[in-house]
Amino acid sequence: MTERKDASGDGRRKGLGRRRFLSGVGASGLATAMAVFGSATPASALVAAGCCNLCRSRSGTFAQCSSGTHYVWSCSIGGSAFLHCTCCEHGAKSGCAHVTQSWYECRYN
């Protein structure tokens, strides 16, 4: 009777150890995944339009975008034709978090 009790206690201890080991394995895996994928750069959220790289999808007009705090710049890209784009971000002072409107226009030269 006593022997049976001891055997059952050993089994419980072994099961507990196994569970701790497996939870350690799981936690290590999660930590590795977070270290690798958790460091995504803000650039991954940018919207590519023509040769522009904007914080948001195009909305509103150029006049609205280029009023107040804004940043306007042009870009060009080659190939079979020469594409020239005007890119605008409204409210762009420190990262995409402050950009409230993006606008662009492209034409082939």
Partner 1 sequence: MLVVFGFALLVLAVAVVVLFAMIGELAARVPAAETGAGWVRPTDEARLGSVPEVWPPELAHAPDRDTYVLLVLSTVCNSCKAVAAQLVDGQADWDGVGIVVSTASRRNGDDFVAERRLGGFVSYVDESGSWSREQLGVESSPTAVVLRRGRVVAAYAFSDLALLRSEVDDRSRPSEAKEAV
The residue ranges that bind partner 1 (CB under 8 A) are 18, 21-22, 25, 28-29, 32-33, 36-37, 41-43, 48, 50-54, 71-80, 82, 84, 87, 89, 92-95
Nearest approach, Cβ of residue 78 and partner 1 (Å): 4
Nearest approach, Cβ of residue 51 and partner 1 (Å): 5
Nearest approach, Cβ of residue 35 and partner 1 (Å): 9
Using alpha carbons, list the distances in angstroms from residue 6 to 3, 9, 10. 5, 5, 6
Return the CA Rg of the chain: 28
Q: How many Å apart are CA 97 and CA 90, to the nearest integer?
A: 11
